[in-house]
Amino acid sequence: MSIKHFKDYPLSEEILRALSDLGYKNPTEVQSEVLPVALEKKDLVVRSQTGSGKTASFGIPICEMVEWEENKPQALILTPTRELAAQVKEDITNIGRFKRIKAAAVYGKSPFHRQKLELKQKTHVVVGTPGRVLDHIEKGTLTLDCLKYLVIDEADEMLNMGFIDQVESIIQELPKDRVTFTFSATLPEDVENLCYKYMKAPVDIEIEATGITTDKIDHVLIEVKDEAKFSLLKDMTTVENPDSCIIFCRTKERVDTLCEQLDERGYPVDKIHGGMIQEARFEVMDDFKRGEFRYLVATDVAARGIDVESISHVINYDIPLEKESYVHRTGRTGRAGQSGKAITFITPFEEKFLHEIEEYIGFAIAKIHSPSKEKVLEKKAEFERKLDANPSIKKDKSTELNKEIMKLYFNGGKKKKIRAVDFVGTIAKIEGVSADDIGIISIQEIHSYVDILNGKGPLVLNAMKHTTVKGKLLKVHEAKK
């Protein structure tokens, strides 16, 4: 355990304040290894699992190093999935909140023109999936001349998903004078080659596989025939009575069927898989994060990088066919120092997959028996009570942080030649308000949005009703979103 504090690193007050508000007391292991090297702007190859605080390990130095004054994107973060892109954007926004860092997420199946408009505004950090990023580069809607930092997140997954050529094409378009960080759970040859081809003497950091966290996650295995799986699942969930549980199936058809079966039996359940439209996927994840329902049935789409606090149980209804996938699935529980349980169902002909997994994680998973009838009966009443209980809605981390923030709408923007500094200059002069109370400013063609921090929103709103910006009195009200 590292005893270093964030304040021991050369980080600005704004970043330290955001970390403290996020509840990050000390750097995690990966952060204490990565931060000093990254802040010296050296290239890095990091082997580390998700759940180790990896996102902040690059998010903190990036937020620290980008220059607020520059309008064009300075950092590009590539992620394999759209969910991860959205989440990394949120993490960057949270870390960079007081420095007013603007991050944009660009990914497929979401309107191109809206992303184009967003990229036209001041944007410090762009997070995206390779296909859509390449699309923006080719259409000239993502400017690269000020790009200084590139992060390739979950590089091995990029390879698995067939994105590695697109990643290479993107790299070829970027300025050579840049810093590159690559993060990967494992380092397959193709990823390694890519690193050494395009990076400058990268510092190699390997964090022992803390994502597997043998001490924090209790791994167990149960033998079962396929036709008996559903009955076993009912018994297991009755006995375990989890607060929050992800159940993984191999295909989207199996997810659909299982979700329906559980729903019919009154489980608070929903599902996520690649066959659903993106909005629905985001909605389901948001509801699950907030605790609206307790059981999420999923394919591996949900296994990577997605950060949901306090998932107590992961059940592999179908054993994963790829060993890496076992680590990612089970890594959904036991996150950020909490404990969890990973239960895997295995049918008679799946021993081969189990051996590969065990060899990969370096230990044998304990076999347990199905719960006895008596045990299931004993736990039934408590289980049913929880099924009927209203969900206790968790507060989302960002919502907590946003509590003190009011977004103001102004009916003037670029067309009226208004710039961010004009808002800062005007608002900071209001009595009782300082520049520190101003958050992210977004100037669009005919309107603008300004975040007011520290609960000063109503004060600024009132004052701005009769205060001019650059000699113009603008209409102002609280923004709807």
Question: What are the residues binding ligand AMP (CB under 6 A)?
Answer: 24, 27-28, 31, 50-56, 307, 335-336
Can you say whether residue 364 is alpha, beta or left, with left for phi > 0 and alpha for psi between -120 and 50 degrees? beta
Q: 256: closest CA among 268, 269, 244?
A: 269
Q: Closest separation between CB of residue 134 and ligand AMP, Å? A: 25
Q: Closest separation between CB of residue 94 and ligand AMP, Å? A: 8
Q: Closest separation between CB of residue 115 and ligand AMP, Å? A: 24
Q: 431: closest CA among 462, 397, 474?
A: 462
Distance of CA 443 to the CA centre of its chain: 26
Q: 97: closest CA among 395, 404, 336, 305?
A: 404
Q: Closest separation between CB of residue 29 and ligand AMP, Å? A: 10
Q: Closest separation between CB of residue 88 and ligand AMP, Å? A: 8
Burial class (CB in 10 A: 0-12, 13-18, 19+), 396: middle
On whether the CB atoms of residues 393 and 290 are closer than 8 A, the answer is: yes
Calpha distance 341→318 (Å, rounded): 16
Angle at the Cα of 48 from the Cα atoms of 166 and 156, rounded to 5 degrees: 25
Q: Closest separation between CB of residue 100 and ligand AMP, Å? A: 21
Q: Closest separation between CB of residue 283 and ligand AMP, Å? A: 20
Calpha distance 248→293 (Å, rounded): 16
CB nearer to ligand AMP: pick between 58 and 353: 58
CB nearer to ligand AMP: pick between 134 and 303: 303
CB nearer to ligand AMP: pick between 307 and 422: 307
On whether the CB atoms of residues 63 and 95 are closer than 8 A, the answer is: yes
Calpha distance 378→238 (Å, rounded): 9
Q: Closest separation between CB of residue 387 and ligand AMP, Å? A: 28
On whether the CB atoms of residues 99 and 16 are closer than 8 A, the answer is: no
CB nearer to ligand AMP: pick between 56 and 433: 56
CB nearer to ligand AMP: pick between 60 and 443: 60
Q: Closest separation between CB of residue 123 and ligand AMP, Å? A: 22
49 phi and psi, to 5 degrees? Answer: -85, 160
Q: Within 10 A of 237 (CB to CB), how many other CB atoms are there? A: 23
CB nearer to ligand AMP: pick between 1 and 277: 1
Q: In 368-408, which ranges are continuous DSSP H helix?
A: 373-388, 397-402
Q: Closest separation between CB of residue 436 and ligand AMP, Å? A: 23
Residues forming beta bridges with residue 472, ordered by sequence position: 469
CB nearer to ligand AMP: pick between 87 and 237: 87
Indicate the DSSP class of residue 191: H
On whether the CB atoms of residues 415 and 400 are closer than 8 A, the answer is: no
On whether the CB atoms of residues 255 and 271 are closer than 8 A, the answer is: yes
Q: Closest separation between CB of residue 24 and ligand AMP, Å? A: 4
186 phi and psi, to 5 degrees? Answer: -125, 170
CB nearer to ligand AMP: pick between 169 and 310: 310
> What is the bridge-based pairing of β-strands 125-128 and 75-78?
parallel
Indicate the DSSP class of residue 472: B
CB nearer to ligand AMP: pick between 28 and 442: 28
On whether the CB atoms of residues 410 and 479 are closer than 8 A, the answer is: no
CB nearer to ligand AMP: pick between 28 and 237: 28
CB nearer to ligand AMP: pick between 27 and 457: 27
CB nearer to ligand AMP: pick between 291 and 413: 291
CB nearer to ligand AMP: pick between 95 and 191: 95
Residues forming beta bridges with residue 272, ordered by sequence position: 298
Amino acid at 319: I
Amino acid at 412: G
Q: Closest separation between CB of residue 336 and ligand AMP, Å? A: 4
Burial class (CB in 10 A: 0-12, 13-18, 19+), 348: exposed
Q: Closest separation between CB of residue 161 and ligand AMP, Å? A: 18
On whether the CB atoms of residues 55 and 88 are closer than 8 A, the answer is: yes
